[in-house]
Copies of this chain bind each other. A is one copy, B any other.
Amino acid sequence: MILPEQLRNKIYKIIFESETRAGKIFDIFLMGFILLSVLLVMLESVDRYMVAYGQTFYVLNIIITIVFGLEYLLRCLSVPKPIKYMTSFYGVIDLVAVLPFLLELLFPQMHFLSVIRILRLLRIFRIFKMVSFLEESNVMLLSLWGSRRKIYIFLFFVLLLTVILGSMMYVIEGGANEKFTSIPTSIYWAIVTLTTVGYGDISPVTPLGKAFASVIMILGYAIIAVPTGIVTAKFINANRSESGRTCKHCFKQGHDSDAVHCKFCGNVL
């Protein structure tokens, strides 16, 4: 099914851009439907609401699926390179928003798939035209990506530490405390403690166990400094290199992004 060139252009302008009035209205409607669909998934999980409004929810689901399905179809038809769109990040997100309920209609036992529709929220970025926001988040993601190896090492270290500490706690506390039933449970407890979450569903009862737990807590309290140090050092470097220009006259670097003249030799940058 191929649309005439002119119509395709018009649909493209409305759906993909938001400069025109129709495009803006379309975006606002779409956002409403996205939030509605997320809300729906949440409310359906509450027994009370499901019992009272189950029928309404079902109808709303059908409507949302039709709207999202139509939108997906129109996007595929109006875009110049459909394959590129369909394999793009947003293309997959858009499909994922339709698929679960279609599958549910065909295979009713797969209702839990509806949860995936939440990913639609990511499209809010596009709606608000948060171009500059995305730019900022790109700088942040690049910084995080640049320090990923240090973070992996840190996570590996934390995991190893919790395995060892959890196992030791099992040896210490296992006999006297019926909550420390096994080493995996003790490791779970060590993670809860080291990350300073501290549910309290499992907590030491013996004096030695409490002393050992105290050591883990203080360790966790100090270790949190490591990821913070990694990320902060990267962010500061990112800030600096963001604005780092080289003077064409004295070849010195380190100029701010708002600098007009070289701060060392005074020539125009």
Contact = CB atoms under 8 A, between A and B. Distances in A.
A229 B226 contact: no
A196 B224 CA distance: 12
Interface string A251-264: 01111111111111
A218 B150 CA distance: 15
Interface string A182-212: 1111111001111111111101000100110
A256 B152 CA distance: 25
B226 A182 contact: no
Integer count of this chain's copies in the complex: 4
Q: Which of A44, A194, A230, A265 has the most CB of B within 10 A?
A: A230
A154 B187 CA distance: 27
Interface stretch (A11-19, A22-30, A58-66, A111-119): A111-119
Nearest to A267: B266
Interface residues of A, number: 101
A230 B221 CA distance: 13
Contacts of A256: 254, 256, 263
Interface stretch (A68-76, A86-94, A232-240): A232-240
A104 interface: no
Given A182-B47, A184-B46, A261-B264, A236 B227 contact: no
B224 A229 contact: no
Contacts of A263: 255-256, 258-263
A268 to B, nearest CB: 7
Interface in A34-76: 38, 41-42, 44-47
A153 B171 contact: no
A162 B235 CA distance: 24
12 contacts: A45-B186, A112-B171, A118-B164, A122-B160, A144-B226, A155-B218, A196-B196, A201-B203, A224-B227, A232-B233, A253-B257, A258-B258
